[in-house]
Structures are given as structure tokens and as C-alpha cells.
Amino acid sequence: MTHPWITACYAVDSALSKITEADAKKLTHLNVSFGHVVDDAIRIGHLKQLDRLPALKAFNPELAIVLSVGGWGAGGFSEAAATADGRRLMAESAVQALRDHPFDGIDIDWEYPSYSAASIASSPDDKTNFTLLLKALREALDREGAARGRHYSLTIAAGADQYFIDGTEMREAQKYLDFIMLMTYDMRGGFQTFTGHHTNLFTPTGDLFRISADASVRMFAQAGVPREKIVIGGAFYSRMWKDVPERNNGLYQMTAGTGGYGPDFTQLTAEYIDKNGYVRHWDDEAKAPYLFNGNTFISYDDEQSLRCKCEYVKTGKLAGIMFWEYSLDTTNRLLNAVHETYIELASED
């Protein structure tokens, strides 16, 4: 079937064998995570299940399988982007990966240009070098695509807040990209001791941190990214704060520690959502669910919040939705919610 909007899924190497035929048919893009940059070149020798890709293509011939390069704490980008030779080597290695495996494109997940928050190298020159790197990749992919009579996609995963815009030249960079995947999750958690939503659609009243998927979309659009190139993110996992004051159902409370990773959606369904003392609440302003048991606060995405995101994609004329990460929801409820909502929305046109 032809999908009216992008449904993209990140999947780690170990998850590739778990992707079912039914799920493959619900996706438009599968981002295989992660290739790494070593000595200015993309390396994928550590990925052990790439022989699974032809079967996934057989399940859904329209599925675009993309090699995602990077991830949190994965370095090598700043060094490779810093010189013409480094950019050329990285582009050549990207093309080689396309020749060796049935990939349909490359996704760059540099977290983040101009910043060393993930303990990787960075430089003020990353701002312009990022654009030059994408240009080199785009030109190399286009040459290879022309030789094969096809198009190879080039995308990025982008941090959702102003820092990413400040550290890059998005107005120029987007010219080389098919679309930009906004990581509209982890928008709070590891750096904040103030509870709240980590993957909310809208910015609610009373939240000190003003980021949301909607705020991120507006930032990137204002920075020169066409809305039709923007993909927003959903989370198949949660963020959790402990020792939370028993006020306002735990929402917007100061805590002693930051919000660490919480249970994935499989675990949430089995042990947490309206179970074992945890009560599900819905923030209709943020369009986001959360759990509280009197002490522990959990922020996550569920079917209701993902439906709201899909509706936002349609009304906002965005490219689609993506999520991290496939293996974190073995119930299939979240992918099904996205798929079914898209079908309903398409039928209304």
C-alpha cells in the first residue's frame, strides 16, 4: 500500500530478526541503528543481522531501509567533517555500504554538532562543517543513484530544541536532506530534576521547560526547514523520577535526582499502567499520559498520545512520525495505533 505519511522506525541490530511481516508492512522507513564513524569512515562490521534485510524487503518491497550512523555517545563526526578528505572518505564509505547491502539511504545521527554533551569531540567549526559533510554525502549518493537509476535518501536525526539550531545551519543543511527527524523525546529527563513530560506534543501551562514537539516544529520551520520535510518522534520507552513530592499527581515537582530511563512500553503495559499502585493520568493540554504512585513519576507515549501526534502531522502538513525503538514494544500496540490512525486520517480526505 502507499502510505500518505512517513512511519519510520529505528531498530537496533538485535531487533532486526524480530520485525514481523505484519509490522514491516506498516512501516515506510526502517532505520538500522547504528553504523559508527571510525577514522573518518562509516563502519558497519559490528552489525551482525544485516543478512536479515532482504527478508524485510521481501515482506514489504516499498520499505525504505536506511543505515543510521551515530547515536548518543558515538563520535568521529567532528573529526571527519573538519577536512575535505575526511568528508570525502565518509561519503565514499556511505556509498560502499549502499553497494554491499540493500540500504536505500543514509541517516546521520550526530549528537550533536558543536556540542560535546555526549563526551565526543566538537568544534565551533562544526556549524559550517556539518553542512559541508551533508553536501558531500548528498553529492556522493546522487552520483551512485544516477549510475543505478534511482534515488538514495539522506536524512538526519536532530535534537529537538534550540541548541541544535544554534549549532548548525539548518536553512542551508536542509537543502541536502530528504527530511529531518526531530527527536521529540528525551526532551526532559537526564538533565532535569523537575518532573514533566519527555515526549509531549504541546507545551502546557505551568511547565518551566517550554519544549514540546509543537515548539520544536515551530523552531525548525522558523530556522528554514520546510514543514513537509519534518518528521516528529514518538517514544516506545519512558522517563522516570523517584522520590517525587505527592503533589499535583507528581507533575512539575522538584526531585533530588534527574529523570533516568524508565520501563519500556512492554514493561509499562505488564506492570505499571494502572497496576501495582501506579495510576495513569492524562494531560489534555500537553496531549501526554503519565503515571504516578505517590512517589515515582513516569512520562511516556501511549496509543492516545501517538494518535494526537498523527493528527498533528496531518493538520500541520508534516512529513510523518518516527519512533525509538522497535524492540521496546512487543505488544505492537503503539505501531498499530500509528498505522490505524493514519488509515483513518487518509480515509477522511
Which of 62, 111, 303, 325 is catalytic? The answer is 111
- The predicted pLDDT at position 3 comes to 73
Predicted confidence pLDDT, tens digits, the chain (349 residues):
467 899 999 999 999 999 999 999 999 999 999 999 999 999 999 999 999 999 999 999 999 999 999 999 999 999 999 999 999 999 999 999 999 999 999 999 999 999 999 999 999 999 999 999 999 999 999 999 999 999 999 999 999 999 999 999 999 999 999 999 999 999 999 999 999 999 999 999 989 999 999 999 999 999 999 999 999 999 999 999 999 999 999 999 999 999 999 999 999 999 999 999 999 999 999 999 999 999 999 999 999 999 999 999 999 999 999 999 999 999 999 999 999 999 999 999 8
What is the C-alpha separation between 111 and 280, in angstroms, rounded?
Answer: 32
- The predicted pLDDT at position 349 comes to 82
Nearest CA to 158 out of 208, 206, 111 is that of: 111
The answer to whether residue 304 sits within a structural domain is yes
The answer to whether residue 34 sits within a structural domain is yes
The answer to whether residue 220 sits within a structural domain is yes
How far apart, in Å, are the Cα atoms of 70 and each of 87, 297, 310? 15, 30, 27
The answer to whether residue 246 sits within a structural domain is no
**Angle (deg, nearest 10), helices 303-315 and 213-222:** 30
Helix (H, G, I), strand (E, B) or coil at 264: strand
The CA radius of gyration of the chain, in Å to the nearest whole number, is 20
| C-alpha cell belonging to residue 26 | 506498516
How far apart, in Å, are the Cα atoms of 287 and each of 178, 221, 257? 28, 21, 25
Contact in structure between 199 and 187 (CB atoms under 8 Å)? yes
The answer to whether residue 267 sits within a structural domain is no
- The predicted pLDDT at position 344 comes to 97
| C-alpha cell belonging to residue 87 | 568528508
The CATH number that applies at residue 224 is 3.20.20.80
- The predicted pLDDT at position 181 comes to 98
The answer to whether residue 201 sits within a structural domain is yes
| C-alpha cell belonging to residue 15 | 531487533
222-254 per-position pLDDT tens digit: 999 999 999 999 999 999 999 999 999 999 999
- The predicted pLDDT at position 292 comes to 98
Residue 21 is a catalytic residue: no
| C-alpha cell belonging to residue 79 | 573529526
The answer to whether residue 257 sits within a structural domain is no
- The predicted pLDDT at position 2 comes to 60
- Cell match 507515549: residue? 301
Other beta carbons within 10 Å of 219: 18
Residues 6+ apart with CB under 8 A from 170: 158, 180, 220, 223, 224, 225
The answer to whether residue 242 sits within a structural domain is no
How many structural domains compose the chain?
1
| C-alpha cell belonging to residue 263 | 520501563
- Per-position b or e across 233-269, b if 16+ CB within 10 A of its CB: bbbbbbbbbeebeeeebbbbbebeeebeebbbbbbbb
- List the domain range (segments joined by +) for residue 144: 6-235+300-347
